[in-house]
Amino acid sequence: MGNRVQIIFTDDGCPITGDPMVYLHWGGSDALRLLQEYWTGKDECYDAARFVGQYCAENPGQLGIGISGALVADASITLDWRDRLLQNSHGDAGIIVVNCSNREYHCYCGDLEETNPFGFIEPVKVKVAS
């Protein structure tokens, strides 16, 4: 398999079902660089589209990309959204939750989480310079 990552773009850092989610099959290790270089902070839909456009421009012919609404809340399952992320992670680079309103992101459930000394409960919080 590739170096998979899921990136959920939110307006407040707390993902809900339907927030734009980008899946990269091969680009997990490059996802944070792309976020830092091309993140506008306008809103979650715009930033997701901008991220996809830049990824495709840098990786012509790459078919390992998907776009969907995030599935992190379900009325029939009473789980904290962090638990839902853990259930839905593919591993590899994990899941990045982007807060478009304040330009911060958290890394969960994968290799990118290793930068976080506090583990899953208190994720790494990084503010991207504007």
Across residues 16-27, what is the average pLDDT? 87
Across residues 116-127, what is the average pLDDT? 41
At 17 the three-state DSSP class reads: coil
Across residues 81-99, what is the average pLDDT? 78
CA distances from 128 to 59, 72, 76, 78, 103 (A): 23, 24, 36, 33, 6
Is pLDDT above 50 for 123?
no
Between 35 and 117, residue with greater pLDDT: 35
Give the confidence band of 43 by pLDDT, cuts at 50, 70, 90: confident
Locate the domains of the chain by residue range: 5-127
pLDDT given for residue 86 in this prediction: 73
